[in-house]
Amino acid sequence: MDSIGNVDSKFRFVILASKRAKQLLKGAKPKVKGKSRNLIRIAQTEVKLGLIDYELIPTRKDDIPDQDERVFVGADIGPDDIGEPEAPVGKDLIEEEAGKEVKEDLEDEEEEAEEEAGGELEDGLKEDKDE
């Protein structure tokens, strides 16, 4: 990716080529003729040759928040304020929920096995029907 034309960065090159490829996909006429039918390759070639005009729009001062408007969420939390969470969160919550599901699945399987066994006693021996 050494030669990207008159574009100042490879990131801008990718953005320009993708936007041009979308235009070509919607029916715009290519500005170059080549052996490739791939619209993405055509868009990349057009950007490399400098055939695609673009304009950098400067950010307005209104778009950038003032120093006073910026908020750091953890600003009021000190090392003494951090403790164990009251309820499980994140990975702990997932593990707890998974444990509940596994336990429920095991209980269901035990109930099904007992129903299928029917005439079996709890210690696994079958009842003697002759007695």
Distance CA 87, CA 105 (A): 24
Domain locations in the chain as residue ranges: 10-48, 88-117
Rounded-to-integer distance, Cα 13 and Cα 36, Å:
19
pLDDT value at position 68?
Answer: 65
Structure confidence at residue 110 (pLDDT): 77
Q: What is the pLDDT of residue 124?
A: 54
Q: How far apart are CA 91 and CA 102, in angstroms?
A: 16
pLDDT of amino acid 3: 72
pTM value is 0.45
User: Which mean pLDDT values do the consecutive 10-residue runs of the chain (131 residues) have?
Assistant: 77 94 95 91 93 86 66 62 61 64 72 68 54 49
